[in-house]
């Protein structure tokens, strides 16, 4: 599969990690940090492939109906073009670097699971933007 077909997975990886950590896995600090780093690594890989596809002139779009107000349909949409591919790559790589650094920096912190939970939500939201 090409990067164009998979680009929508970039925000899904950290958002799924957030959901798993939010339902209780954040209590296990090492597991929480490992899951968050793995999710950001996956988002980084997908973002790089999406950027490479966008540079080659391929564009992508994924949209889902969300809300209907006054006869107008609001949709949630993700677009892949060179600019969005570049921004997704930058956000995911910087997030991955911060996650890797935080693994050792917060190794003894009792609330590191909470940090990785909240930061996974943040990076997933940034990737969705």
* pLDDT at residue 1, rounded to an integer: 57
Does residue 69 form part of some domain?
no
Does residue 71 form part of some domain?
no
- Spatial separation of the C-alpha atoms in residues 106 and 121, rounded to whole Å: 18
Does residue 40 form part of some domain?
yes
Does residue 25 form part of some domain?
yes
Q: Which of 12, 1, 62 is nearest to 39 (CA)?
A: 12
* pLDDT at residue 90, rounded to an integer: 96
- Counting the structural domains of the chain, the total is 1
* pLDDT at residue 27, rounded to an integer: 73
Residue-averaged pLDDT of the chain: 89
Does residue 108 form part of some domain?
yes
* pLDDT at residue 88, rounded to an integer: 94
Q: Which of 7, 83, 81 is nearest to 43 (CA)?
A: 7
Does residue 15 form part of some domain?
yes
Share of the chain above pLDDT 70, in %: 96
**3-state SS, residue 10:** helix
Low-confidence ranges of the chain (pLDDT < 50): none
Does residue 81 form part of some domain?
yes
Q: Print the domain residue range for 120.
A: 3-62+77-128
């Amino acid at each position: 599969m090409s990067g164009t077909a998979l680009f929508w997975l970039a925000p899904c990886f950290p958002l799924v990690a957030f959901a798993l950590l939010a339902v209780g896995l954040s209590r296990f600090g090492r597991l929480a940090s490992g899951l968050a780093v793995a999710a950001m690594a996956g988002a980084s890989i997908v973002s790089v492939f999406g950027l490479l596809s966008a540079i080659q002139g391929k564009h992508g779009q994924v949209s889902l109906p969300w809300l209907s107000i006054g006869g107008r349909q609001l949709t949630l949409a993700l677009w892949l073009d060179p600019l969005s591919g570049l921004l997704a790559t930058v956000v995911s790589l910087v997030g991955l670097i911060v996650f890797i650094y935080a693994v050792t920096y917060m190794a003894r912190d009792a609330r590191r699971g909470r940090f990785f939970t909240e930061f996974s939500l943040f990076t997933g939201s940034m990737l969705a933007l």
